Amino acid sequence: MDSVDLEVLKHSVRWLDEGRRVLLVTVVQTWGSSPRPEGAMLAVRDDGHVVGSVSGGCIEDDLIERVRARGIEQSAPEAVKYGVTAEEAHRFGLPCGGTIELVLEPLSARSGIADLYEAVQAGRLVVRTLDMASGAARLGDAHVTDGLHFDGKSLATVHGPRYRMLVIGAGQLSRYLCGMAVGLDYHVTVCDPREEYTDEWNVPGTTVVRTMPDDTVMDMHLDERCAVIALTHDPKLDDLALMEALKTPAFYVGALGSRRNNAARRERLKEFDLTDTEIARLHGPVGIFIGSRTPPEIAVSILAEVTAAKNGISLPELLQVEGAKAARESERSGSHGRVEAATVGSPAAAMTPGAGGHACGV
């Protein structure tokens, strides 16, 4: 789940333990653009203190004002809508005509928030079903494909680890990428059997394993909410992970390397029991083309492509590394003829910034 929403649960449990009243606010439906997705949460303490977010800030301000003026009056959950009219939409920072529906839930012992927080902390994926009439909630096991459901009588929300990322290699680039991935709410596992790399690993929020990459892929039982990124530049490690990961439902499988290296990698993968369709799933060169050269820039490039894949966005060829570089080379060749072709092929041009992008193909 979103780390912001995890903080909401954490603070709600603490405030209840301190004897305070707490109003839990959940986004249950949006029409038009919305700053926060369905399932996003906000907790309002009885003195107006808040944690979390359900909008750009204006709806939060209105809820705080209501609580400070009247306290947390209701004894049962209720649904409210903001932004029904154009005037309200403008007031609450929503697009003209937009609407956001929220469930306002006064927390109590029947809410089971402490049990929910404990389950999430333990790494469980659970569905919480709230009865709107009584305010009682129950927990059950959830599936990664489950989503929020609200019919006016009950509210079902899914909580826990939704996306996982397996990174092969514990080098410098992995440090930047994994730190950013944690911020994007992935549960990150770093696999590298090389002690000289893993002994120095210290990225908070990540798990390090020293098993062989192919064994790690199989042990993790990757599903459609998983991403695998191979970053070692060592075929003996990267290929082991890829040959197993490409057989799984993982939504993203990518590998660092130049266009030439990735072409060679695809040829090697054909020697294993992989189909052409499975090999075609490989993202390589990994990332989108933004002219990145430093490890942090390359990490941004990779995670941008991963995010697009996670959200079901098909990137145009000119944003992909291979397509962008091929287009640049074609444009230069057409603009400058044989002189440019000779220049690009010279050793000096290979060292010129912008001539070919990062050596790894990002």
Give 62-84 pLDDT, tens digit per residue: 899 999 999 998 899 999 998 75
More confident position, 35 or 339: 35
DSSP state of 354: T
Does the pLDDT of residue 97 top 70, yes or no?
Answer: no
Highest CATH level, class, for 164-319? alpha beta
pLDDT at residue 350 in the model: 34
Is a pLDDT exceeding 60 seen at residue 337?
Answer: no
Supply the pLDDT for residue 339: 44
Q: pLDDT value at position 11?
A: 96
Q: Is 73 exposed, middle or buried (CB count within 10 Å of its CB: 0-12, 13-18, 19+)?
A: exposed
Strand residues in 86-186 grouped as ranges (E): 99-106, 126-131, 137-141, 149-150, 154-159, 164-168
pLDDT: which is higher, 5 or 74: 74
Q: What pLDDT does residue 340 have?
A: 44
Please tell me the predicted confidence (pLDDT) of residue 20.
Answer: 96
HSE-up of 98 (CA within 13 Å, CB side)? Answer: 17
Q: Is the pLDDT of residue 125 over 80?
A: yes
Q: Which residue has the tokens 């909008």?
A: 55
Let me know: does 230 contact 257? Beta carbons within 8 Å: no
Query: If you average pLDDT over residues 117-140, what whole number do you get?
Result: 92
Predicted local confidence at residue 56, as pLDDT: 67
Higher pLDDT among residues 34 and 78, named by residue: 78
Two tokens, residue 31: 């029409």
* Among 250, 325, 302, CA closest to 281: 250
pTM more than 0.85: no
Lowest mean pLDDT segment, chosen from 35-39, 75-79, 351-355: 351-355
**Residue 135: Cβ within 10 Å count:** 18
DSSP conformation class of 168: E
Closest CA to 67 of 14, 20, 110: 20
pLDDT at 29 > cutoff 50? yes
* More confident: 301 or 352: 301
Which DSSP state fits 27?
Answer: E
pLDDT at 338 (0 to 100) = 47
d(CA 185, CA 39): 15
Q: What is the model's pLDDT at position 34?
A: 62
Taken in order 255, 244, 226, 170, is the CA torsion positive or negative? negative
Parts of the chain belonging to CATH 3.40.50.720 = 164-319
Instruction: Please tell me the distance from the alpha carbon of residue 317 to that of residue 327, in angstroms, as a whole number.
Output: 9
